[in-house]
Amino acid sequence: MGPAKKRVLEKFPVTNYLPGARGQTIEKLWRDFFSLYKLMRSKDELADVTINKFEIDARNWVSTFYVTPYMHVLAYHIPAFMRLLKSEGL
């Protein structure tokens, strides 16, 4: 993801353009995804508790926003890969 897309996810004021609950929901969707994205892309070694929190947050994100089935991978498979890479020292 390029730097411009990251800035949009992190800072774009959705509620300025979509007022009310819909704008707030979309803005939360973007911000929460950005938090998950940053953790996945972290170059630091992740503690088990951090991976567990990622797994919980990803599952909550997927169920809260009813996103596409492809996001199932984010919530149910990425944490396993994070644990595998950690165990291999990568």
Average pLDDT over all residues of the chain: 83
Residues 1, 36, 25: CA angle, nearest 5 degrees: 95
Tokens 């004021």: give the residue.
13
Beta carbons within 8 Å of 33's beta carbon, 6+ residues apart: 9, 61
Claim: this prediction has a pTM higher than 0.95: no
- The pLDDT of residue 1: 64
Sites in the chain below the pLDDT cut of 70:
1, 67, 90
Read off φ and ψ for residue 5, nearest 5 degrees: -65, -35
Cα–Cα distance list, 30 to 5, 14, 22, 26 (Å): 11, 9, 12, 6
* Nearest Cα residue to 74 out of 43, 36, 28: 36
Compute and round to an integer the Cα radius of gyration of the chain: 14
